[in-house]
Amino acid sequence: MNKRVLAAAAVLGSVALTAACGGGTTAPKPTGQGALAGVCPSTIVIQTDWFATPERAAAYRLVGPNGTVDVKKGAYSGPLGDTGVNVEVRLGGPFLGGQPVPAQMYQDNSITLGLVPTDEQVRAKAKFPLTGVFASLNKNPQIVMWDPATYTVNSWKDIAATGAPILYSEGKIYMDYLIANGYVKKEQADASYDGTPSRFVAEHGRVMQQAYVSNEPYRWERDVKGWQKLTGHLLVADAGYESYPHAWSVRSGELDKLRPCLQKLVPMLQQSEIDYVTNPDVTNAALLRIAQTILDGPPITAGGNAASVPTQLKEKIVANGTGSTLGGFDLDRVDRAIAQVTPLLRAKGQQVPDNLAAADLVTNEFIDPAKGLKQQG
């Protein structure tokens, strides 16, 4: 991107996010005139992978605090400030009907962007090729969590020695990585995790489980009846797993068509993440309202939302990547992630194209290098 376009995109991102996300007044309806009108789809549809949580807040912040909640569809929508377009953020999980985001994106052409981890991009490449244009999270918040009164664990090398069952969601590639590298024994992996604390509590901490560092430890220690005591955890990323957790991706065949839109939109996405972690309260309130309207998701509380951002910053879940820029991809890291998961997927009979490289999965073309967190702890 040349400097003039880059500068224009930066200004547009700042203006749009101020209108869309600041204050509590009702956002104006799109007029068909604005920075994105006629350039982007009239409704930018963002397909997330789970319920409305702080790790996905950048998408919801685009809509602002006064969006419309569609319970049946599982969506939150409204104008993107005065840009002339709408944004519709779709929840994942059960609203995906049991299929991953890449497959959903090819089934429903109205989706503009989907939140897809690098490992899923690799798995989907042969049938559902996607190109990541923005990485909202720099580090994977995925953890394995345990009861420190039951197990003494100081590093990943200690997990296998415990022999404890580890509850996780079936199909998660990180577990194959942990097993392949000796951090977890194959017989420990239990793909029956249902997203609730029920078994962890019922077995008095004798099982371990998957979680997000920015979510479950706070909830388990404060809100989960029958527990409400300390937990221990290790980040999967600290075991060397390189996958980006949320690559905001488009269908690869539509990259050229969407290029004029992405040149203006992606800097707005960067700004949305920056603004969220800088001032999360308004968006956190919107996340809480969504959770109270769309039921049956994980418990979302005001306290849990408030605690999430400090944890994300402390653990570098949200952080600048290369240099002082937030949202770009480290291409060497993506290459390492491809190398990590390719043999694991092929061992399960899944097709991965030969000579797959970072340039086949992601691009930094639309990233504004001037947009980043001002202070890094």
Q: Are 283 and 276 in contact (CB under 8 A)?
A: yes
* Residue 260, φ and ψ in degrees, nearest 5: -60, -35
375 is a domain residue? no
Confidence tier at 32 by pLDDT (50, 70, 90): low
Strand order in the sheet with 68-70: 68-70, 75-79, 86-90, 43-47, 113-116, 247-251, 130-135
Q: Give 152's DSSP letter.
A: -
Based on the domain organization, do 94 and 170 belong to the same domain?
no
* Residue 189, φ and ψ in degrees, nearest 5: -70, 120
Token pair of 131, please? 């190109």
Based on the domain organization, do 13 and 130 belong to the same domain?
yes
Based on the domain organization, do 10 and 124 belong to the same domain?
yes
CA distance 77 to 90: 8
The domain of 153 spans 142-239
- 347 pLDDT above the threshold of 80: yes
Q: For helices 331-347 and 173-180, what crossing angle results, to 10°?
A: 80
**Per-residue model confidence as pLDDT tens digits over 189-243:** 999 998 899 999 999 999 999 999 999 999 999 999 999 999 999 999 999 999 9
Confidence tier at 30 by pLDDT (50, 70, 90): low
pLDDT of residue 33: 80
Confidence tier at 363 by pLDDT (50, 70, 90): very high
What number is the average pLDDT over the span 64-87?
98
373 is a domain residue? no
Per the listing, tokens 């007029």 go with: 31
pLDDT of residue 322: 86
pTM of the shown model: 0.91
Based on the domain organization, do 298 and 214 belong to the same domain?
no
CA distance 329 to 265: 17
Based on the domain organization, do 54 and 115 belong to the same domain?
yes
- 26 pLDDT above the threshold of 80: no
Extended beta strands in 112-192, E state: 113-116, 130-135, 142-146, 166-167, 189-190
- C-alpha dist (Å) from residue 173 to 88, 119, 121: 29, 7, 11
pLDDT of residue 31: 55
Fill in the amino acid letter for 75.
Answer: A
State the CB neighbour count (10 A cutoff) for residue 37: 15
Fill in the amino acid letter for 232.
Answer: G
CA distance 107 to 102: 9
Final residue in a domain of this structure, among 220, 239, 258: 239
Based on the domain organization, do 12 and 108 belong to the same domain?
yes
CA distance 74 to 52: 10
CA distance 15 to 25: 16
Based on the domain organization, do 12 and 104 belong to the same domain?
yes
Confidence tier at 296 by pLDDT (50, 70, 90): confident
Least confident of 17-21, 127-131, 308-312: 17-21
Based on the domain organization, do 99 and 148 belong to the same domain?
no
- 43 pLDDT above the threshold of 60: yes
69 is a domain residue? yes
Confidence tier at 29 by pLDDT (50, 70, 90): low
Q: Give 67's DSSP letter.
A: P
State the CB neighbour count (10 A cutoff) for residue 257: 11
Confidence tier at 21 by pLDDT (50, 70, 90): very low
Residue 284, Cα to own-chain centre: how many angstroms? 16
Share of the chain above pLDDT 70, in %: 91
Q: Are 89 and 269 in contact (CB under 8 A)?
A: no
Q: Provide CB contacts within 8 A for 242, sequence distance 6+.
A: 118, 333, 334, 336, 337, 340
**Per-residue model confidence as pLDDT tens digits over 159-184:** 999 999 999 999 999 999 999 999 99
- C-alpha dist (Å) from residue 221 to 165, 224, 239, 301, 306: 21, 7, 24, 13, 15
Confidence tier at 301 by pLDDT (50, 70, 90): very high
What number is the average pLDDT over the span 38-59?
98
What number is the average pLDDT over the span 312-329?
97
Q: Dmax over Cα atoms in the chain, in whole Å?
A: 62
- 84 pLDDT above the threshold of 80: yes
CA distance 179 to 169: 15
Structural domains counted in the chain:
2
